[in-house]
Chains A and B, each alone.
Chain A
Amino acid sequence: DIQMTQSPSTLSASVGGRVTITCRASQSISSWLAWYQQKPGKAPRLLIYVASSLESGVPSRFSGSGSGTEFTLTISSLQPDDFATYYCHQYLAYPWTFGQGTKVEIK
């Protein structure tokens, strides 16, 4: 199975600040990586697919980069609506696997 290691598990940031979340795969997944945002009691929402493509309707302050085994999600200017938990997800091969999540909290 492909293991996905996400860091940090929690981060505190201020509104307007820049946030970077890292996801590492245990083997190359090319660009078959997605990022999701999840708020309490809600289903996840797709933000980024194939590592760097922005899903329709997602604000441009979200961006993704990387390929192979190292990936990054960046929020350029954190907004109040962005405080949530973020997950990376490899969909190169079954079993699909997710990172353990990064909770973004208000500083």
Chain B
Amino acid sequence: EVQLLASGGGLVQPGGSLKLSCAASGLTFSSQPVNWVRQAPGKGLEWVSVIGESNNYAFYAESVKGRFTISRDNSKNTLYLQMNNLRVDDTATYYCAIQSWAGIGYWGQGTLVTVSS
């Protein structure tokens, strides 16, 4: 069974930093690109970032470019998202999502990030 366990969310002040993690099991983590997708409270889905199988590429949404950094450690089957200079509109549940030719086949359970003073 594939499991994606996201962690690291919490309450942070505007301008602060947070690092999310997503631990994967039940699949060959190193063979697939992985994404972060977020959802603000009561809103729709927004793609945030993707990283290639072997850290060979990374892309970001314009809204987070220059502030967020995606990374992965295939030896630990773990995905990360370093979030700096957080803004109130970054408040959302952040999902890690395994990419395949079918879109997103596996989603994590999400971790809530709240940016507020």
Contact = CB atoms under 8 A, between A and B. Distances in A.
Contact of A100 (B37, B44, B108): B44
A21 B103 CA distance: 19
Contact of B59 (A36, A49, A94): A94
A44 B47 contact: no
B61 interface: yes
Contacts of A87: 44-45
Interface in B24-69: 35, 37, 44-47, 50, 59, 61-62
Contact of A95 (B59, B101, B104): B59
Interface string A85-107: 00101010011111111000000
B95 interface: yes
Contacts of B109: 43
Interface string B75-117: 0000000000000000000010001011111011110000000
A67 to B, nearest CB: 15
A82 interface: no
A93 to B, nearest CB: 10
A50 interface: yes
A46 interface: yes
A15 to B, nearest CB: 26
Contacts of B110: 43
B104 A34 contact: yes
Contacts of A45: 107
B107 A89 contact: no
A20 B14 CA distance: 42
Contacts of B108: 43
Contacts of B50: 94, 96
A53 interface: yes
Interface of A: 34, 36, 43-46, 49-50, 53, 55, 87, 89, 91, 94-101
10 contacts: A43-B108, A43-B109, A45-B107, A49-B103, A49-B105, A55-B105, A95-B47, A95-B59, A98-B45, A100-B44
